[in-house]
Amino acid sequence: MAKSKIALIGGGNIGGTLAHLAALKEFGDIVIFDIVEGLPQGKALDLAQSGPIEGFDGVFKGTQDYKDIAGADVVIVTAGVARKPGMSRDDLLEINVKVMRAVGEGIKAHAPDAFVICITNPLDVMVWALREITGLPHHKVVGMAGVLDSARFRLFLAQEFDVSVEDVTAFVLGGHGDTMAPLIRYSTVAGIPVPDLIKMGWSSQEKIDAIVQRTRDGGAEIVKLLKNGSAFYAPASAAIEMADSYLKDKKRVLPAAAHLTGQYGVNDLYVGVPVVIGAGGVERVVEVQLADDEKAMFDKSVDAVRGLVDAVKSIDPDIG
Ligand code: APR
């Protein structure tokens, strides 16, 4: 079987963690691209040196040249600036849209057949911009947000119920972070929906509401603690789960920022929805019936993403 090639654009905190996880999972050869001279080269060498201990082979390359990503099966984008305390994801907009321009052109020229996973924030609009710049098919460009948001939600629910995180499933829709819309009735412990667990006395509506809010603020909580960076372990794990589903054609049903063409009443926008990820990329968007309050939450989230898309169009008029 031919070895896969994974290109990581951005070799910072998330990029380095992605490289390590991809190596441990033996995804294939790994290229780390970063504009900082020496940084991706140093990380690639360090990673290669963990191979004899961990028992993985493969080529690790750090580079400042987009030519090195040629033939990549998966490209994961974390290039850009991470949030500093007090900075919202949207403050990042102007800086990171310029980064997406450079990255998108690099991917378009050298890895147009890749499955591209964007992590750079503000996520829903960055993945939209990246798709526009690359011109890749929409189903081959996706944003990582929902797996992370739902992992946070699952953790907090598991702690509240005192059960294993493995038995908690969560269903989240909408934009990343502040406007995330969790669907409580589709979030379960071993198949038992959260509203039933409240009726069973496992928790209260107030406590679940507080957990929802903590999940929405999950990124900011970590930024505040770290003081000069944002979360990187869980975001990296989340993107690796998506890449794994693509590379192994697992057809996992995962929440992701996907391009909508009428589903949920949204057209030509990237928003977080459940999707099936397999060898075809985003093979399907899963559309469920929303109750009125859920639809209102989702629409609010969509409006926020739409506002950012308009802002990006004014920053870079060639996009869209
Ligand atoms: N091309 C390639 N790499 C770039 C570019 C560019 N044009 N601009 C910046 N970078 C690199 C930086 O040099 C840095 O190494 O992107 C890397 C970002 O790494 P970190 O600052 O450590 O940020 P990280 O925690 O990895 O988060 C990256 O993901 O979750 C989001 O909000 C987060 O947008 C941020 C991104």
The CATH number linked to 224 is 3.90.110.10
pLDDT at 114: 98
pLDDT at 237: 98
- Residue 73's domain is classified under what CATH number? 3.40.50.720
Domain final residue, candidates 94, 117, 144:
144
Answer yes or no: do 87 and 35 share one domain. Answer: yes
Cβ burial of 227 (10 Å; 0-12, 13-18, 19+) is exposed
Q: Of ligand 1's atoms, which has the minimum distance to the CA of residue 121? A: 34
In the DSSP assignment, the letter for residue 203 is S
Identify the helix (H) or strand (E) that includes residue 300: helix 292-315
Answer yes or no: do 38 and 121 share one domain. Answer: yes
CA dist 88 and 301 (Å) reads 15
Single out the catalytic residue among 20, 110, 138, 176: 176
Q: CA dist 187 to 63, 168, 170, Å? A: 42, 7, 4
Residue 319 within a domain: no
Q: CA dist 56 to 5, 30, 122, Å? A: 14, 12, 34
pLDDT at 262: 97
110 is catalytic: no
CA dist 241 and 144 (Å) reads 10
Q: Which residue, among 145, 148, 146, 79, has the nearest Cα to 107 in the 3D structure?
A: 79
Residue 320 within a domain: no
Q: Is 274 in the pocket of ligand 1 (CB under 6 A)?
A: no
pLDDT at 315: 86
Q: How far is the CA of 148 from the centre of ligand 1 (A)?
A: 17
Cβ burial of 24 (10 Å; 0-12, 13-18, 19+) is middle
Query: Which of 9, 14, 119, 240 is the pocket-test mutation for ligand 1 (most atoms within 8 Å of CB)?
Result: 14
Beta bridge partners of 31: 7, 61
Asked if residue 222 has pLDDT above 70, the reply is yes
pLDDT at 37: 97
Structural domain harbouring 38: 5-144
Residue 228 within a domain: yes
Q: How far is the CA of 115 from the centre of ligand 1 (A)?
A: 19
Answer yes or no: do 16 and 98 share one domain. Answer: yes
- Mean pLDDT to the nearest integer, 297-314: 92
Q: How far is the CA of 281 from the centre of ligand 1 (A)?
A: 24
Q: What is the ipTM of this complex?
A: 0.99
For the chain, what is the domain count? Answer: 2
Answer yes or no: do 177 and 271 share one domain. Answer: yes
Q: How far is the CA of 40 from the centre of ligand 1 (A)?
A: 12
Residue 80 within a domain: yes
Answer yes or no: do 174 and 71 share one domain. Answer: no
Answer yes or no: do 173 and 239 share one domain. Answer: yes
Annotated ligand binding at 86? The verdict is no
Asked if residue 272 has pLDDT above 90, the reply is yes
pLDDT at 90: 66
Q: DSSP states of 264-281 as a string?
A: GG-EEEEEEEEEEEETTE
Domain final residue, candidates 99, 123, 144:
144
Q: Is 15 in the pocket of ligand 1 (CB under 6 A)?
A: yes
Provide the mean pLDDT of the chain: 94
Residue 138 within a domain: yes
Asked if residue 83 has pLDDT above 80, the reply is no
pTM, rounded to two decimals:
0.97
Residues 6+ apart with CB under 8 A from 110: 66, 67, 69, 70, 72
Answer yes or no: do 289 and 236 share one domain. Answer: yes
CA dist 107 and 116 (Å) reads 9
pLDDT band, residue 89 (cuts 50/70/90): low
Answer yes or no: do 66 and 168 share one domain. Answer: no
Residue 66 within a domain: yes
Residue 181 within a domain: yes
Answer yes or no: do 127 and 12 share one domain. Answer: yes
CA dist 53 and 270 (Å) reads 41
Using CA positions, which residue lies closest to atom 19 of ligand 1? 12
Neighbour count for residue 53 (Cβ, 10 Å): 7
Asked if residue 85 has pLDDT above 80, the reply is no
Q: Is 230 in the pocket of ligand 1 (CB under 6 A)?
A: yes
